[in-house]
Amino acid sequence: MWNVTRRRRTESDSGGDFSTNIISDGNEYIATIYLGNPLVKVTVMVDTGSGVNWIKGPPIYDAKKSRTYEPRFCDGGCPFRSGCEHFSDLCRYRIEYADGAFSTGIISYDNFAFEDLDGIVKNIGNLQFGYATESKDFSGQENGNLGLNRESISFVSQLGIQKFSHCLVSMDNIKGSRMHFGPSANVNGVKLPYDPTLDFHYFVTLEGIKVGNKYVEISPGVFAFNKNIQDSGVIFDIGTTFSTLYQKCYDPFAREMRNQMMKVQFVKPINFFDMCFRGTKRDFDELPTVMFEFDKMRLTFSKANTYVEVARNVLCLGILPEKNYQISIIGNFQMRDMLIGYDLANHQIAFANANCNNYT
């Protein structure tokens, strides 16, 4: 039987300032956390596009072996419409992702801890999370999710964190870099405001796209958030690999890309990449740059953050069409080798060029 005593808040010994190492798992970025008593080491996907923290059950984490684990019951209210019929029922959750993956289980509490640069594991508090009794299509190193959006149940919201920052390394870097939470997070650089009144994602205002020296002709309002459409607008999401553009934006963008890539030989789409081509190193050196013009700032992607090498002398555009929804997403491939800080108190995202391989 579960321990049915209600949650007891525990104090953090991190001082509200802590960090964790994050590494590339190819498509996602993975952090290491510690959970329970005794502590269990767990690797989780870092995700600014969701708020639910969840951890896979046995053999990854067995709630029955943790002395500090507590399930959440319906008598205290549940954060999801979980079908509570009686106060004695357990709160349940289910989260589904755009690629068809899902996680479902019991809303619970347990102690969370992080390992600092000196190898000391520090408790950061007793937090709410999803104890996953079933999950599907998570085949990488991730055994859970660290939700970093602005929902009340997210990791940063539960701890009252005012800022956090990351510097994403390339896929071939196995050492990783540090992700900081609290006062040590770096939020210096060019500031991009996000709209705190729109949902719980990090919504930004994208005003235009430039390919080489030419602006793409895009219909006015195509990037705007529509309150009558659930998935619209433009967000930053570290949990998405490649940036996606709403189809009505992607089509003129892709046409302009092709117009400026006359020397390469286009080939059929490869896997989920829409635009792929063959050429020489000299041809690749002449590929156009891509710049996103936001409200109050411009973000020019390096060619390493724009094109993906999928085979010898074959590259694909690392920006994809979004065919099902009206939302556009800035993904982690375009964020690599940039120091990005989230200033939640001032509703801003800060950007600075960096060598993330050396970032601690």
Q: Give CA–CA dist 5/11, Å, rounded.
A: 18
Percent residues over pLDDT 90 in the chain: 69
Fill in the amino acid letter for 271: N
Where a domain ends, among 120, 144, 161? Answer: 161
In a domain, 225, yes or no: yes
114 is a domain residue: yes
Domain match, 131 and 243 both:
no
Q: Is 112 a domain residue?
A: yes
Residues 149, 219 share a domain: no
- In-domain check, residue 179: no
Residue 3: predicted pLDDT: 37
Residue 315 lies in a domain: yes
pTM for this structure?
0.90
- Residue with the two structure tokens 């200033």: 343
CB atoms under 10 Å from CB of 208, counted, come to 14
Confidence at residue 139, expressed as pLDDT on a 0 to 100 scale: 64
Say yes or no: 119 and 233 in one domain.
Answer: no
- The answer to whether residue 41 scores a pLDDT higher than 90 is yes
Task: Specify whether 210 is located in the same domain as 344.
Answer: yes
Residue with tokens 């999710």: 145
In a domain, 271, yes or no: yes
Give CA–CA dist 40/194, Å, rounded. 36
Q: Please indicate, yes or no, whether residues 271 and 328 belong to a single structural domain of this protein.
A: yes
Q: Is there a single domain that holds both residue 203 and residue 133?
A: no
Residues 248, 354 within the same domain = yes
Q: Which residues contact 37 (CB under 8 A, 6 or more apart)?
A: 66, 67, 68, 110, 111
Give the chain's mean pLDDT: 89
Q: Mean pLDDT across the stretch 102-114?
A: 94
Same domain, 226 and 335: yes
Could you tell me which residue, 324 or 48, shows the higher pLDDT? 48
Say if residue 7 is exposed, middle or buried (CB neighbours under 10 Å; 0-12, 13-18, 19+): middle
Collapsed DSSP state (helix, strand, coil) of residue 310: strand
Shared-domain flag, residues 219 and 330: yes
- Greater confidence, 135 or 271? 271
> If DSSP codes are grouped into helix, strand and coil, which group holds residue 67?
coil
Q: Are residues 150 and 82 both part of a single domain?
A: yes
**Full residue range of the structural domain in which residue 101 is found:** 18-161
Q: Provide the residue type at 77 as one letter.
A: G
Q: What is the pLDDT of residue 14?
A: 52
In three-state secondary structure terms, 347 is coil
Please report the pLDDT score of residue 9 as a whole number.
40
> Which of 110, 140, 161 lies at the terminal end of a domain, its last residue?
161
pLDDT category of residue 4 using cuts at 50, 70 and 90 = very low
Q: Are residues 152 and 207 in the same domain?
A: no
Number of domains in the chain: 2
**Domain finish residue from 143, 161, 179:** 161
In terms of domains, do 318 and 205 share one?
yes
Give Cβ neighbours of residue 120 (< 8 Å, ≥ 6 apart). none
Residue 85 — very low, low, confident or very high, per pLDDT cuts 50/70/90? confident
pLDDT value at residue 140: 67
HSE, CB side, 13 Å, CA atoms: give it for residue 20. Answer: 24
In a domain, 36, yes or no: yes
Q: What CATH number did the domain enclosing 79 receive?
A: 2.40.70.10
Q: Determine the average pLDDT of the residues in 219-240.
A: 87
- The rounded distance, in Å, linking the Cα atoms of 142 and 78 is 26
> pLDDT tens-digit profile of 159-211?
999 999 999 998 888 889 999 999 999 999 999 999 999 878 999 999 999 99
Residue carrying the six token digits 């596009």: 49
- Cα–Cα distance for residue pair 33/37, rounded to 1 Å: 13
**Residue 265, SS3?**
strand
In a domain, 169, yes or no: no
